[in-house]
Structure 1
Amino acid sequence: MINVEIYTKGYCPYCHRAKALLDEKGVSYTEYEVSTDQARQQEMRERSGRRTVPQVFINNRHIGGSDDLMAANHSGLLDELLSSHAAKTA
């Protein structure tokens, strides 16, 4: 099973954009809303090395923020990451 995680804030348009792409791809994901959760914010910073949201991880691989996710989609990397894991578990 593919594990997609996304750290977000409710008012963030880039978070909405990233989630919309994942929804469009039919990808289930775990969302961590970090607006008021300092521990989750710290976890996000430690995992990603970044302070901004969203931060996306696929099978513990840091993809990056919204622009990074869109670039991965455009280059075909996102589909490759999503399908290569599915092929390994089939």
Structure 2
Amino acid sequence: MAPIQFYELDGCPFCAKVRTTLDDLGVEYESHSVPRSHGERTEVKEISGQTEVPMIVDPDHEVEGMHESDDIVEYLNETYA
């Protein structure tokens, strides 16, 4: 299985919620810290068309650029719990 790609910003409580869920479920992931400036988040924008974080990419389940922490947590629990 390929690890989930997790894009996050230090100090972001929504990102922390997703990180905690990934850790609690024991899901393998690679964390990518993004710049504070939305204008500098080019990698996130290229993937999803947006600059918001948290964002995940799950190559094993063809999830490309999922945003919204509640949606991500729900997806992770449904897919990996």
What TM-score bracket applies, with the shorter chain setting the length? 0.7 to 0.9
Unaligned runs of 5+ in 2: none
TM (norm. structure 2) is 0.77
Greater Rg over alpha carbons, structure? 1
**For 1:1-90, what aligned pairs fall within 5 Å after superposition?**
1-35=1-35, 38=40, 41-59=41-59, 61-62=63-64, 63-73=66-76, 76=78, 78-79=79-80
Size of the aligned set, in residue pairs, is 76
Please provide the CA RMSD for this pair. 2.1
Over the matched positions of the two proteins, sequence identity in percent amounts to 26
Higher helix proportion: 1
In 2, the alpha carbon distance for the partners of 1:64 and 1:35 equals 17
